[in-house]
Structure 1
Amino acid sequence: MKINQNKLIMDSDFKVCVNETLEYKFNSSNPNKLDVIKLSNSEFHVLKNKKSYNILIEKNNFYLKEYTISVNSNSYQIKISDKLDMLIKEMGFHNGLSKKINNIKAPMPGIILNVLVKENQPVKEGETILILEAMKMENAITSPKDAIIKSISISANQTVEKGQLLLEFA
């Protein structure tokens, strides 16, 4: 999914799971595309079936594709799965690629707000290890696997560039 000229464009098949109960499938040929206007980096206005919706992205986890959004002041937990995620689940496998990750690099430029771990500290998969602020949004960076922190290359209030090494796992 990408924003282009203040409109939301769906560029491949994906599934959205809401509050772990409702599932919606989308694809690029979906005739009922949403009319979306980007108001800020975390706020959007959506028109669908002549109804107006105000959407605010409250929290996001870039690596796990999990988001907390507010739609007209009602909060929802969202998980997005792309074609690869759906294929891996359909085949009965878990995404083994994330288990081979030995370091974390900045997914985007920003400022490190908080480093929540120390060297030699054990962490669990999904545990928040640092907070990166980018485009005025706080992004929780989580551990992709159970591991021990080998080294930390950044500190709080440090500016980082996309792809910069943040920390390594033992």
Structure 2
Amino acid sequence: MIQISTSPGQLWEVDYRAADSIDLNGEPFAWDIADLGQGRFHVLHEGRSYNAEVVEADYTTKSIVLKINGQRVELAAKDRFDLLLERLGMSNAAVAKVNELKAPMPGLIVDIRVEIGQEVLKGDALLVLEAMKMENILKAPADGTVATIKVVLRDNVQKGQVLVQFA
């Protein structure tokens, strides 16, 4: 189960076990989705057609920006571990101890937006990782100073590989 919120303040609980078995706020969610490639999808739900495009996906902060029928929608996801840490009052403590950025998926480094010694704030863009023909902006998980950059432009990286270390 994950919890998804939007910037205007809508909140959904999504429980999925497989692509064909999704519950939204405890109710079955019936939809048909077609992958059009390059982060674009066509969705049918309750007789209505939607065009969806993944504009930006940051797997570190679990935030996604979509365009649905041309309208921009920003989403933030929390999995069961995030929700548990939040209930225990430990969500900020867990983030503060992050001292490196790891690749959330295999891909190609197409842009490096920081330098060694640069001060960054949580959410600042550090690198751009191309995966499955989509560019993913990898952002700083916490405030800090860039100590080392473990990749160079056009490097192929593996999931979990350390990309940036912080002082």
- Interval of TM-score (by shorter of Structure 1 and Structure 2): 0.7 to 0.9
Deviation track 1:107-154 (CA, whole Å, cap 9, x = no partner) reads 222111111111111111111111111111111111111111111121
Please say if 1:79 is aligned against 2:67.
no
Shift of residue 95 of structure 1?
Answer: 4.2
* Structure 2 unmatched runs, 5+: 17-21
Output the aligned Cα RMSD. 1.8
Whether 1:155 and 2:152 are equivalent positions in the alignment is yes
1:34 aligns with 31
Q: Name the structure 2 match of 1:111.
A: 108
The aligned runs of 1:95-106 (5 Å cut-off) are 95-106=92-103
Equivalent residue for 1:23?
11
TM-score (normalised: structure 2): 0.85
Name which of structure 1's ranges 120-129 and 100-109 shifts more when overlaid on structure 2: 100-109
CA contact (8 A) 1:85 1:95 kept: no
Verify the 8 A CA contact 2:31 2:46 in the aligned structure 1.
Answer: no
Q: Which deviates more from structure 2 when the two are superposed, residues 126-135 or residues 93-102?
A: 93-102
**Percentage of matched positions with identical amino acids:** 31
Q: Deviations over 1:3-29 (max 9, x none)?
A: xxxxxxxxxx11211224211222236
Aligned partners of 2:42 and 2:51 also within 8 Å: yes
Q: What does residue 7 of structure 1 align with?
A: none
- 1:78 deviates by 1.0
The secondary structure found in structure 2 opposite 1:27 is strand
Q: In structure 2, what residue type is equivalent to 1:160? A: V
Q: Hey, what's the Cα distance between the residues in 2 that align with 1:166 and 1:124?
A: 17
Q: Does the 8 A contact of 1:123 with 1:149 survive in 2?
A: yes
The residue that corresponds to 1:56 in the other structure is 53
2:43 and 2:108 mapped to 1: Cα distance? 30
Q: Where does structure 1 lack aligned partners over 5 or more consecutive residues? A: 1-12
Residue in 2 that maps onto 1:8: none
